[in-house]
Chain A
Amino acid sequence: MIHAALKDQGHTFALAARELWNVHHAFSGTPVQYYQAPFKQGPTPLLATHECHAHLLYSAGYADPQELTVLVSAWIGVLGSFRPDLVIFDHSPTALLASRCLPVRRVIIGSGFLVPTKGQPMGVLPDAPTGPGPLSRMTNDEAAVLGNINKVLAAFGLEKLDALQDMYAVADDEVLLTSEELDPFRRGPVDYSSVWPARSFPEQNWPEHSNRRIFAYLDDFPGLKQLLTDLESLDATTLIYAPGIPSKIRDAHTSARLEFLDGPTNLEHLAKNATCSFPMEPTRAWTGSCSRGFPRS
């Protein structure tokens, strides 16, 4: 929806995404130039735990300065071929790093988790252990990641960073697509957008016979068959959006109580008469479900 609003104001729009196979659901009807986003491939370095933002970066290509140099170079190529005036970063730290080579404006957008809190160490995760030991470990790990970033910046003739949080200091603005209650960082009084401006998908009505109504947004996982059996055993009607699950499973479980949707649906419309939702992807599904007042299992 943001791209459509910007297009209406005369903007030309491009998108680089890691997964391009399903973006047409969100961007059809509006001229968009698509690019394959560079991302970490190959073996991921093993970390015992992820406790802060540096650990997330470490697993995303920042463990090896040579690998990071290639990723930054690839992003410079992508951004340079479109030559934007402004880049919106939907959690894309390497693109943000690469954008330092280009004269662009920058806006960071994302859910609370994807817009890390500043500090040293930055973006300490809510379930990270506390105390001097863990803090010292995180500080050391952050210094190692910062060292790798500075090697890459030097290779491109760019100024080094004094702290990891400086990566994000180039942003001209931030948009937090969450609310105070849902922000895992509970960062206090800041401007939350509170709603996720998702595209308006087709409206699906509940079957007439349904009394108690469940919406489930599922992916394929080892317990899926049992979950579908659990849902079928309830005195309720369940509508399921489950992209990517095998048609064999879908066919085996379709019944008067379980109905599979063929594509994304308008959650706000469904939520008006639902009893509860079962979202596998709770972050973005929240706007259309609980924010309309029905609970989630």
Chain B
Amino acid sequence: MIPNYKEQLYTSVQVAKMGAGIFGSREDPSHRDALLAVLNEPRFGEAARKFAERYQGQDVSEALMQITRQIDAVLGSDSATTFVAR
């Protein structure tokens, strides 16, 4: 991971903390060593699989339905006009 701004940096730190990756700087002259480490050292894959196992039962469709239910509960009606601001 080569974070560019704060949000990306914090996510990279969290991934590195759980042992599933390495992050570098955009100023690093080369990223070859980091790439080789992640490709060749099993511990990174093991940490990533451990995370994946924890969320194995998570389903994107179900998560979407849950969010939709939350929004409907806020609206208290079946149909409405919805606006996303970002």
Give me the interface of A with B, judged by CB distance under 8 Å: 1-3, 5-6, 9-18, 37, 50, 75, 78-79, 82-92, 95-96, 104-107, 109, 111-114, 125-127, 172-173, 175, 179, 181-184, 193-195, 197-198, 212, 214, 219, 221-223, 226-227, 230-231, 233-234, 236, 268, 275-276, 278-283, 286-287, 290-297
Contacts and interface: CB of A to CB of B under 8 A. Distances in A.
A286 B11 contact: yes
A222 B60 CA distance: 36
Given A9-B72, A105-B74, A84 B82 contact: yes
A230 B63 contact: no
B13 to A, nearest CB: 7
Given A194-B55, A195-B55, A230-B32, A5 B65 contact: yes
Contacts of B66: 193
Nearest to A219: B4
Given A86-B82, A88-B82, A236-B39, A184 B14 contact: yes
A211 to B, nearest CB: 11
Given A16-B83, A79-B83, A197 B70 contact: no
Contacts, number: 249
Q: How large is the interface on B (under 10, 10 to 19, 20 to 34, 35 or more residues)?
A: 35 or more
Nearest to A99: B85
Nearest to B2: A280
Contacts of B78: 9-10
Given A290-B48, A296-B38, A297-B37, A113 B71 contact: no
15 contacts: A3-B84, A5-B67, A15-B84, A126-B13, A175-B67, A184-B11, A193-B66, A193-B67, A195-B59, A195-B60, A230-B31, A234-B36, A291-B51, A296-B20, A296-B38
Given A223-B26, A282-B12, A292-B52, A107 B70 contact: yes
A197 B38 contact: no
A163 to B, nearest CB: 23
A37 B58 CA distance: 33
A18 B13 CA distance: 27
Contact of B48 (A197, A236, A294): A294
A272 B56 CA distance: 13
Nearest to B24: A297
B28 to A, nearest CB: 7
A233 B84 contact: no
A290 B80 contact: no
Contacts of A83: 81
Nearest to A7: B82
A89 B85 contact: yes
Contact of B15 (A10, A197, A290): A290
A183 to B, nearest CB: 7
